[in-house]
Amino acid sequence: MTSRISVPRGVAHAAAAPEAVNAATLRTRTVHAGVDATPPVWPLSEPIAPGTAYAFRDPALADLRSAADPPEPNYGRDGLPNVRTLERAVADLEGAEDAHAVASGMAAIALIFLAHLHAGEHVVAFGDTYCEARTLLTEELPRFGVRTTIIDAGDPLVLPAAVCPDTRIVFVETIANPSLRLADLDRVAMVTRRHGVLLCVDNTFATPMLCRPLAHGADLVLHSATKFLGGHHDLIAGIVAGRRGLIAPIRRYGRLYGMTLGAMDAWLALRGLHTLAPRIAWMSDTAHAVAAFLQAHPAVAAVRYPGLPDHPQEELARGLLPNGAGAVLTFTLRGGPSAAAALIRTLRMIPYALSLGGTASTVCYPPSNQGDNRDGDDPAAAGSATIRMSIGLETADDLIADLAQALAALPTTEVV
């Protein structure tokens, strides 16, 4: 017998709105998030439990544990204790009833689609969605009979027009990678609620420290925990949080498709999470200073950072991201692609790296669906005058000094 377990339309918004929480409370909560402090004695750092098979004398007990929601440790693909702790922690910080952690951010995105879409249904996504999520939406979902409409996020009239009776999901990023455009979540949620459509928000760039999409009307919030949640360039993980009824099918399909997260990566992600608050606060301040420096430099044609007063969505940024605008910025060199390539090669401390969100600042060409340069070892071949920078934990002064020396080394023809 086959069973469909997706949530029927119409009940998508049944649960109560998530609680409001102030930034200071949230900061304290990151330190204790996920930890079970109810027994008389508990470890302050949870032991890593890699065991993937649990032993029983009574088989009935094994069945009971598998049937529990969330399942209790039994067989590894059903979920491991460290993974469960991470899930509790992220659910807490995002103000969600439950969460499900998986093997990567892309697995989290794919799983939302696998669990909540059926052939004949339709998704609306903002045009500046992370390139690989966009590939999934535009090239993979059609193979399963699901249509996607990509819209211009900047025009508020486009979304209501794009939603049709078959639309099941609207997919946006709080701060888009790499355009850094903000999604006006309250406005988008008004549309999704009106139409009984699930609003799924990729909150990777904002993290719950800067924005909690569920409090703005989202139904599901997801992260590439590979980035800021983990925060140390040493794990790959993804997580989805939301109401219990929406997470249950995600957990079931995660098990079916085998997207299980390992114990070690879950433990590392939780350890990262405990320092998320000071990291994000520091990085946002530093990003602000670096953006201001770049903006004033004659070799730089444009800087994009949601915290700058001239960001096109400055007013929205103040409302959506009151505690900081995040740690990613982009800048475009007047000298074009050759200047960008020269700058990257001349930086002494800041390396070129394809990921972001960790302790070390990095630069990279913005990911794109057109001529993605992921495989290009030669940055000059990529042809981009724009550089994406992820701010780490170095001081603003040191980062600015490195950028200044690399900008100063550009040939003057590249500067004008």
Ligand X SMILES: Cc1ncc(COP(=O)(O)O)c(C=O)c1O
Catalytically annotated residues: 77, 130, 202, 227
Of the candidates 213, 234, 229, the residue with the CA atom closest to the CA atom of residue 34: 229
Site for ligand X in 152-191 (CB under 6 A): 173, 177
Question: What track of x and - describes contact with ligand X for positions 222 through 251 (by CB under 6 A)?
Answer: --x-x---------x-x-------------
Give the nearest distance from C-beta 224 to ligand X in angstroms: 3
- Quote the CA–CA distance of 307 and 320 in Å, as a whole number: 11
Torsional class of 147: left (φ above 0), alpha (ψ -120 to 50), beta (otherwise)? beta
Whether 230 and 237 have beta carbons less than 8 Å apart is answered as yes
The least distance separating ligand X from the CB of residue 199, rounded to whole angstroms, comes to: 16
Binding mask 105-124 for ligand X (x = CB under 6 A): xx------------------
Question: Shortest distance, CB of residue 407 to ligand X, whole angstroms?
Answer: 26
What per-residue string of b and e applies to 54-76 under the rule 16 or more CB within 10 Å gives b? Answer: eeeeeeeebeebeeeebbbbbeb
Are residues 52 and 75 in contact, defined by beta-carbon separation less than 8 angstroms?
Answer: yes
Residue with Cβ nearer ligand X (111 or 277): 111
| Nearest distance, CB of residue 12 and ligand X, angstroms | 22
Distance CA 341, CA 390 (A): 17
Backbone angles phi, psi at 265, to 5 degrees: -65, -35
| Complex with ligand X: residue 109 or 299, whichever CB lies closer | 109
Closest CA to 293 of 393, 406, 377: 406
* In the complex, minimum distance from the CB of residue 354 to ligand X, in angstroms, rounded to a whole number: 8
Q: Please identify which residue in 113, 126, 130, 282 interacts with ligand X, judged by CB under 6 A.
A: 130
CA quadruple 226, 232, 233, 236: dihedral, nearest 10: -30
Query: Per CB under 6 A, which of residues 88..107 are in contact with ligand X?
Result: 104-106
Based on CB atoms, which residue is closest to ligand X, 172 or 403? 172
Q: Please check whether residue 374 is in contact with residue 353, taking contact to mean a CB–CB distance below 8 angstroms.
A: no
DSSP conformation letters of 275-333: THHHHHHHHHHHHHHHHHHHHH-TTEEEEE-TTSTTSTTHHHHHHH-TT---SEEEEEE
# binding residues, ligand X (CB under 6 A):
13
Choice between 98 and 173, CB closer to ligand X: 173
Does 79 sit near ligand X (CB under 6 A)?
no
Q: Fill in the per-residue mask, 198 to 227: x = in contact with ligand X (CB under 6 A), - = not in contact.
A: ----x-x-------------------x-x-
Shortest-Cβ-distance residue relative to ligand X:
105
Q: Which two tokens stand for residue 3?
A: 């069973």
> Closest distance between ligand X and the C-beta of residue 179, in Å?
11
Give the Cα separation of 263 and 33 in Å (integer).
Answer: 17
- Of 71 and 105, which has the nearer Cβ to ligand X? 105
Q: Which residues bind ligand X (CB under 6 A)?
A: 104-106, 130, 133, 173, 177, 202, 204, 224, 226, 236, 238
